[in-house]
Structure 1
Amino acid sequence: MTVNWCGVFPAVTTQIAEDQSIDLPGTQRVVDQLIRDGINGVIALGTVGENNSLDADEKIMILSAIVEAVNGRVPVITGVSEYDTRRAAHHARAAETAGADGLMLLPPMVYVPKAHELVKHFRGVAQHTGLPIMLYNNPPAYRAMIDDTVLGALTDVDTIVALKESAPDTRRFTDIRNVFGDRYALFAGLDDVALEGMYLGAQGWVSGLTNAFPRESVELVAAFQRGDHARAMAIYRWFMPLLHLDAEHDLVQTIKLAEQVMGRGSERVLPPRYVLDGERRAEVIAMVEHAAATRPALDVVRAA
């Protein structure tokens, strides 16, 4: 499938069974529900998919199950989050064989590369696959910055086509557009600056909280794209308390708990993460229940 780098691409959850095994039917079910609710693409095995808590075989098993469930309805992009270039290239090849339509490529885990090393890492993976690649910039999480020097050194790599921008400074969107024009398709990567990112040039949104509220997420982006800014702003203001959860260290647990409260999946996670408890759990449940009770009627949304 040719990837149309536009719209809402949720970072989907990997469902976990009570015995801590991978729940493939459950994972397929939540992905199918998201597609039925109108999302434009799937990000498999991202942070919310607990990529780094899985071994290599599990990753391909989960990706294959997601590809099967999607059945060509939307593109499937898979996270490539490995310790080194060799492992990343191996996963990229395996993902292509498993039927992925594109890759979301992260910097190497643990080791913090210098700019020239980061360029070589991205090139090293790209030369082992024909799939289109979205780079993932998240310096607070991974301590590596995909800056203009790195992006400039990769302009000749035709398969590197998009950038998920998760730096908290939204000025990055304008700076990238000013330097590179439309060379890279930009995606907002932090939920609570998604609308700002779209105003500044992002074509799409890689989202976490879409897992719990997909229809509202889709309508938010659709309203912006058709120029109904009052509608987009109303949905965004309603959504914002939950969207802030995406920027917290426990985002995987909070997103999966929100998904469970909304009857869409399970909160179970893989170690070293554990389900929320105590005040934090009660706080998140209350936030989700309030959002559900006050969710905008999508056919009559008005600006707040």
Structure 2
Amino acid sequence: MFRGVFTALITPFRNGEVDVEALENLVELQIRNGVSGLVPCGTTGETPTLSEEEDRLVISTVVRAADGRVPVIAGTGSNSTASAVKYTKMAEEVGADASLQVAPYYNKPTQEGLYRHFAAVAESTELSIILYNIPGRTGVAISPETMARLAEIPNVAGVKDSTLSMSVVSDIRRLCGEEFVILSGDDPMTLPVISLGGAGVISVVSNIAPGAVSEMVDAALSGDFARARELHYELLPLFRALFIETNPIPVKTAASLLGLCSDEMRLPLMPMTGDNLQKLREVLERSADLLPTPEEV
């Protein structure tokens, strides 16, 4: 189930509300272009600004639009264990296939606290659990040793790794075994992670270039690293441009420029302006052959 490209979906808004029609169209575009799965309500989906009702709406919309064609990994993590359990049960109720569980942020638990947090969530659900290790945002890292303990829980299936450390990825593979899924959490790190035994990527860039990112990952997973490297370097300007400001500002702006949705965001995030917007436009123009055609949109 967890192999290939899983798009960390943006959440389209219009006039302050979730734009359900645009979200449905995004799901269809992703599936038509070969992604392996969808991840609603992650960081890229502006989850911190969504209400509980909106979380349910977004996850249920993606599940309904996907219609069983690809798995849906719902972001249901929290820095409160009780809230993470509550949201995970909600995602299970509306038909998600798995849950993405971020390390509790701001309160900086110990490794034992992290273990007990994730264990409690896993024990509350039948869903598969993908851990999300992104210390740059959360302020705390899940150690490979803690992951090895968590990997012994039957429904803890793997990790989205955003540490930018191949040493950490190597230790995860060494300690957690071959069955434990490792997904890159950063588009530029996808090929190195796959080379160390990773299974793919939870991608931001695939929001606007699903076909190209899928082709790159498929090539790498099939052992054709020459083709995968070629595509990596073709995609590299997009990888960089979509992070010139805080994610998801650039990718949502890019999606708007391509006609996929509006560029409406919720404070404290703001749409791009000025020099960065011009740089993004220029990269999109130069990368046109990697992007959906107007007919596809």
For normalisation by structure 2, the TM-score amounts to 0.94
RMSD (Å), alpha carbons: 1.5
Residue 276 of structure 2: aligned partner = 280
The question of 1:182 aligning with 2:164 is answered: no
Task: Give me the identity figure in percent.
Answer: 29
Residue 59 of structure 2: aligned partner = 63
1:164-179 → structure 2 map (5 Å cutoff): 164-179=160-175
The structural deviation recorded for 1:263 is 3.0
Structure 1 residue aligned with 2:12, among 12, 15, 23? Answer: 15
Structure 1 residue aligned with 2:71, among 46, 71, 75? Answer: 75
Say if 2:130 and 2:158, in contact at 8 Å, map to a contact too: yes
Say if 2:100 and 2:129, in contact at 8 Å, map to a contact too: yes
1:255-294 → structure 2 map (5 Å cutoff): 255-292=251-288
CA distance in 1 between partners of 2:244 and 2:110 (Å): 26
Residue 300 of structure 1: aligned partner = none
- What is the DSSP-based 3-state SS (H/G/I as helix, E as strand, rest coil) of the residue aligned with 1:34? helix
Number of aligned residue pairs: 291
Amino acid at match of 1:137: N
Amino acid at match of 1:10: T
CA displacement, residues 25-78 of structure 1 (integer Å, 9 cap, x when unaligned): 111111111111111000111111111111111100111111110111000000
- Structure 1 outlier segments of 4+, above 6 Å: none
CA distance in 1 between partners of 2:9 and 2:68 (Å): 16
Residue 3 of structure 2: aligned partner = 6
CA displacement, residues 115-172 of structure 1 (integer Å, 9 cap, x when unaligned): 1111111011111111000000111111111112311322331110111111011222
1:44-123 → structure 2 map (5 Å cutoff): 44-123=40-119
The question of 1:40 aligning with 2:36 is answered: yes
Amino acid at match of 2:219: A
CA distance in 2 between partners of 1:195 and 1:77 (Å): 22
Amino acid at match of 2:177: G
CA distance in 1 between partners of 2:139 and 2:119 (Å): 19
The question of 1:252 aligning with 2:248 is answered: yes
Say if 2:106 and 2:139, in contact at 8 Å, map to a contact too: no
1:124-143 → structure 2 map (5 Å cutoff): 124-143=120-139
Range that drifts further, 56-65 or 280-289: 280-289
- CA 1:75–1:182 in 2, change beyond 3 Å: closer, same or farther? same
Amino acid at match of 1:252: P
Amino acid at match of 2:284: V
Range that drifts further, 177-186 or 61-70: 177-186
The question of 1:30 aligning with 2:16 is answered: no
CA displacement, residues 222-271 of structure 1 (integer Å, 9 cap, x when unaligned): 11122222211111001112212455551201011122233333322121
- CA 1:126–1:270 in 2, change beyond 3 Å: closer, same or farther? same
CA distance in 1 between partners of 2:196 and 2:257 (Å): 33
For normalisation by structure 1, the TM-score amounts to 0.92
- What is the DSSP-based 3-state SS (H/G/I as helix, E as strand, rest coil) of the residue aligned with 2:140? coil
- What is the DSSP-based 3-state SS (H/G/I as helix, E as strand, rest coil) of the residue aligned with 1:10? strand
CA distance in 2 between partners of 1:86 and 1:102 (Å): 18
Stretches of structure 2 lacking an aligned partner (at least 5 in a row): 292-297
Stretches of structure 1 lacking an aligned partner (at least 5 in a row): 297-304
Residue 301 of structure 1: aligned partner = none
Say if 2:12 and 2:18, in contact at 8 Å, map to a contact too: yes
- What is the DSSP-based 3-state SS (H/G/I as helix, E as strand, rest coil) of the residue aligned with 1:161? strand
CA distance in 2 between partners of 1:289 and 1:65 (Å): 31
Range that drifts further, 284-293 or 267-276: 284-293
Structure 2 residue aligned with 1:232, among 222, 228, 231? Answer: 228
The question of 1:194 aligning with 2:182 is answered: no
